[in-house]
Structure formats: C-alpha cells, structure tokens
Amino acid sequence: MTEELEDITKQQSMHEEFEQLIATDKKMEIRNFLNDQNISDVAQLVYDYPEYEIQIFVSLNINRAASVFKILDFAEQKRIINSLPPFKTAELLNELPSDDRTDFFEEMPSSAVRELIKLLNPEELKTTLSLLGYPENSVGRLMTTDYVYIYADDTVAQAIETIRRYGKDSETVDVIYVIDDKGDLLDDLRIRDIILASPDKKISELMDDRVIVLHAHDDQEVASDAFKMNNRVALPVVSKSNKLLGIVTIDDILWVAEEEFTEDIQMIGGTQALDAPYLDTPIMKLFRKRISWLVVLFLGEMITASVMQHYEGALEKFVVLALFIPLIISSGGNSGSQASTLIIQAIATGDVSLSDWWKIMKREILSGLMLGGVLGIVGFTRVILWNSVQPGVYGEHFVLVAWTIAITLLGIVLWGTLSGSMLPLVLKRLGADPAVSSAPFVATLVDITGLLIYFTVATTILSSVMG
C-alpha cells in the first residue's frame, strides 16, 4: 500500500510539474524535463494530455521519442504520425527499430504506407520492404536487423571492440552472434561469456554449437514456444540455407503473446477477433465481427424447436417435462463451456497436445460422471422435496419424473464435458484455431443434443404411464 501511495504521489508531482512548464511555454525546460523521465512515464503523459502529445514528441530526443512511440497503442501512434510535421515523422520512422516500424506499417492502410515509406532513408527502406515481404504472423515480420555479429576467428579483444563500435545501434547486446565468411550462423554467445574470457582467446574456443534458431517463415507462435522453452532474451532468425537474417527479442514475443491471448478471449466469447482496441473499432465493423457468430448460433438453437416438435406428444401427456428444459440444457451447456475453456487454455499454454487426447477423455469421463452425479442427486432431491411441500405439483408419478431428471443430468453433463474437451482437439487436428470452439458454440451444440438425451430418457422411463 505504501508503494502504491508513493507511485500515486510521484505521478501527481510529475503531472503538476508538466502542467506548470506547459503554462510557461519554456521549451528548453520542457525538453529537459521530458528527457529526464522514464519512458513509461512519458507515455502516460501522452495518454493523459492528448492535446500536448505533438509538443511532447517534438520536445523529446529522437531516440527517446522512438522508445515512447513503440509502446503506445496503435490508435495513439496513428494520431501522432498524422499530426507530426513531415521532418519529425521522417526522423521518428527512421529511428524506430525495424520490427516495430514493420508492425506499425502492417496496421496502417496500404495507401498511407505508400506515402510513409517515402520518408525512409535507403537502408531503412530496404529493410522495411524486406520484412513486409514475409507472410503475416510469420517470424520474419517480428525480426529486427539491428544486432551485433562477430566471426569465429576473432579474438575476444576484437569481438569487444566490434561490440563497442556497433552495439549502440543494436536492439540488444545481451547475445552476440557468430557467423562465418559466408554469413552462415555458427553460434550465439552471451555477452558475459565474452567479457569474462581472456582477451587473446579465440571466439571459436567459446562456442558450444548449441544455438537455437528460428526460421523466417515460421509462425509467430513457434517463436513464442521457443522463448518459453529456452529462457532466452533473443533468438536468431535464419534462412533455409542457414544465413543469419535478423533476431527476434523477448519484448516482441510478449506483444505477440498479448495479441494471441486477446484474440483467444474474444473468440471464446463467440465473436471474431478485433483488429484494433474496442473503442477504436468502428461500430459497423464491430457489428460484422459479432453478427456472423450470432446468426450461426441462432440457427443452431432453432434446431431445438424441431426437437421439441418431434416430442410434442410426450410434452402434451407430461407437461411437467417442459418445466425442466431450461435446467437441463443450461447444465449441459455450462459443463461443456467449462471443459472447452480449460482445454483451450491448456492447448494455448502447451500443457496438453493432440497426443494427450486419450488421457483427456478419460479424465473428462470421470469428471463428467462425478459432476453429473452430484447435479443428478441435487435434481432428484429437489423434485422430491418440492413435491412434499406442494403435493401433486409434479403429478402422481413425481418419483419417475425425479429419476428422469437425475439420469438426464448425469447423461447431459457427461456429454457436455466430453464435447467441450474433445472439440478443441478436433479443431486443432484439422488445423483450425481451438478457440473457434467457443463457449457459446459448445453450449449451443449441447443444447440441441441435450434435448435429445432428455426426451429419450423421459420417454423410456415414463412410457409405462404415458398411456
């Protein structure tokens, strides 16, 4: 609590000082103030004072302006680029790391990109066009060409001199890459291993040939998994012929992970993934993203009417069965949604794979029997107790009705857990996103089949007294 209060006090003090400086319009003092703040604090000022966002960016040193720009939301980035003077826009775009610049261009309309790339210097233009040439969501779109490389024949002293000369322009110097004269990647070395080695030692003597690489056309999720499994801050990207093309750093992977998580959550909720923040998404685009799934789910639910029509005779003879339809279908849908969400999350984190399907099925059969058994007991008890409070409310055959409810709940909850757990695995096997088997979709599927289970059990148990 004390730390939170200190942070709030610090933020208030920073805001007050910024407001005072803006009021006096002392440009040099504003520049010095902004360049002394943490990058994240300057970004917060941009959000809190949108009317001064251009003044903030014009006042910042260009390298700090680029650092602030790349952590802002896309909507904010777009407003800033559209409002900055052309010369400042050119400075900012050329200063941005190539991977962050590519990511920004990827979100912009193609007409705007055509104009913006004209502001890049020849070297940055070549790099940007190269990165944009890789497929969307590929590792190539994430990589940066700002890295330090050395040669296996270099001494440690020569390598350190190379790092001093080129390290300031690199995305990271935590890892240094070793290549041969042809540009083939040989190994990567941690900077500490180089610094701690004897100056006259050869780099080849430090190599252990345990380099982990990514390929430019790999999916970005492959890169995310590689970082999680190997505890790295950066990984090299190579071509099919093992030429070193660039590197991917952990900060880019964190952005990918956040985007994947957001997309999965939206799809689990029964909507197509949004390409922009919710408030920045036009209402018609939001409508299109949501209506398709709603129509599919609605058409699916219409099948329930056909099922009920088929069993109309049973409902006429035992009207009491209709009272329990919401209870039955909601229990099945809820159990299916639970299972679906758990398995989707487990697939996303790598806790389970397709080869685990039999283990998952066995667990869900056991879980479904236990969950359905408990709900069946609760349903059976509820019918018996309520009939004792209001005799005749469920008719003279209330015990048979109670057994119908109990057995149906056991069956439908078991079916719901199996459907919810297996459907994501089936979609994964077919190459689709498991999140497509969203909770609403599973619930609709179980609603339809749940009614079939319910009326099948009911007609079987009550057939002797239906007449």
The token duo for 280 is 């920045």
pLDDT digits (tens, 9 = 90+) for 299-358: 766 776 676 666 666 666 667 777 788 888 888 888 888 888 788 878 877 788 888 889
Classify 109 in phi/psi space as left (phi over 0), alpha (psi -120 to 50) or beta. Answer: beta
- DSSP code of residue 136: T
Cα 114 from Cα 160, distance rounded (Å) = 40
Q: What is the pLDDT of residue 201?
A: 92
pLDDT digits (tens, 9 = 90+) for 252-296: 888 777 777 666 666 665 555 556 665 666 777 667 766 676 676
Q: What is the pLDDT of residue 445?
A: 79
Q: How many helices (H) and strands (E) does the chain have?
A: 22, 6
Low-confidence residues of the chain: pLDDT under 70: 1-8, 261-281, 285-286, 289-291, 293-294, 296-297, 300-301, 304-305, 307-318, 435-439, 464-467
Q: Write down all domains in the chain, each with its CATH number in brackets.
A: 2-133 (1.25.60.10), 149-249 (3.10.580.10), 278-466 (1.10.357.20)
DSSP string, 22-63: HHHT-HHHHHHHHHHS-HHHHHHHHHH-GGGHHHHHHHS-HH
Please list the alpha-helical segments (H only) found in 282-356.
283-310, 312-317, 320-323, 325-349
Per-residue burial over 77-108, b if 16 or more Cβ lie within 10 Å, else e, is bbbbbeebeeebbbbbbbbbbbbbbbbbbeeb
Q: What is the pLDDT of residue 276?
A: 61
Predicted TM-score (pTM) of this structure: 0.56
Backbone angles phi, psi at 98, to 5 degrees: -60, -35
Rg (CA), the chain: 31
Cα 401 from Cα 316, distance rounded (Å) = 15
DSSP string, 339-399: HHHHHHHHHHHTS--GGGHHHHHHHHHHHHHHHHHHHHHHHHHHHHHHHHHSTTTT-TTHH
